[in-house]
Amino acid sequence: MTVPQEPDNRSERFAAYIEARKFDPPRSLLVRAAALAAPKNHALDAGAGALNATKYLLSAGFARVTALDSAPASQLLAAELPPEQVTFVLSRFEDFAYPANAYDLANAEFSLPFIGRENFPAVFAKLLASVKPGGLFTGQLFGLNDSWNTPETAMNFHSRNDVENLLGDWEIVELEEEDHPGRTKLGEPKHWHIFHILARRPR
C-alpha cells in the first residue's frame, strides 16, 4: 500500500528519509551535471536533505554552495560543513528569496514535487531564473502515473509535455523518464513516474 505524502506526516517522513540517505553516494545525474559546469563558483542545493549533494559539489570543485531545506535535521548536518564554503538556509522553497543570475548550477534532487501545486509554477520559474546564463539545472519532477498523484494531494505532477514547456527555451541536455513499480528509500511499495532533468540556461 502506498503511503500518502501529505503535510500532517511529511515532517516525520522527511527526518526519517534524511537519516536513511546520510551515507548514500552522489546520484549519477548530479555527477554528470557537475562535470559540465564551468565555472564552479557557486551552486544551489535546493532541498538539500542529508547534504549528500552539497558535499559532492564541494568535492567536485565548487567554491561555495548554498544549501536550502526546511528540515531542522538537515540544518544540524550542515553545521558539520565548513561555514566559509556552505551557507545553509532553513526555508521552504516557497519562502526562499532566489537571487537572480546567481548560481552556476542549481540542483533539486527529488524535492520539487513537494511544492504545493498552486505555488509550483512561480517557484520553479524563480529557481530557474537564479541560474546564471550558461549555467545548469538538474533535478526531478514526478509524472502523472506516480502513485502519490491522488485527488487529495497537494503535490505537483506533470506530463512530459509539461516538463518541456516548463523548461521553455532552456537546452535540454538530458530528459530521462522512469515509469515502474518500486520502493521508497524507507522501504515502502510505490509506483514511480519520474522525469530526470539536466538542462542548460541559454547565454
- Per-residue confidence band for 9, with pLDDT thresholds at 50, 70 and 90: low
CA distances (Å), origin 64, targets 82, 105, 116:
10, 11, 29
Average pLDDT score over residue span 53-78 = 96
Query: How many separate domains does the chain show?
Result: 1
3-state DSSP of 33-64: HHHHCCCCCEEEEECCCCCHHHHHHHHCCCCE
Q: Reply yes or no on whether the pLDDT at 58 is more than 90.
A: yes
On whether residue 133 sits in a domain, the answer given is: yes
On whether residue 166 sits in a domain, the answer given is: yes
On whether residue 80 sits in a domain, the answer given is: yes
- Per-residue confidence band for 25, with pLDDT thresholds at 50, 70 and 90: confident
Q: Give the domain extent around 155.
A: 7-200
Coil, strand or helix at 134 = strand
On whether residue 1 sits in a domain, the answer given is: no
Residue 10 has what pLDDT? Answer: 65
Q: SS3 helix, strand, coil % of the chain, rounded to 5?
A: 30, 30, 40
3-state DSSP of 113-124: HHCCCCCHHHHH
For the stretch 26-35, pLDDT in tens is: 999 999 999 9
Where b means 16+ CB within 10 Å and e means fewer, 52-72 reads: bbbbbbbebebebbbbbbbbe
Q: Reply yes or no on whether the pLDDT at 175 is more than 80.
A: yes
On whether residue 150 sits in a domain, the answer given is: yes
Bridge partners, 39 (sequence order) = none
Average pLDDT score over residue span 141-155 = 96
Residue 1 has what pLDDT? Answer: 38
**CATH number of domain containing 52:** 3.40.50.150
Q: Tally helices (H) and strands (E) across the chain.
A: 6, 7
On whether residue 2 sits in a domain, the answer given is: no
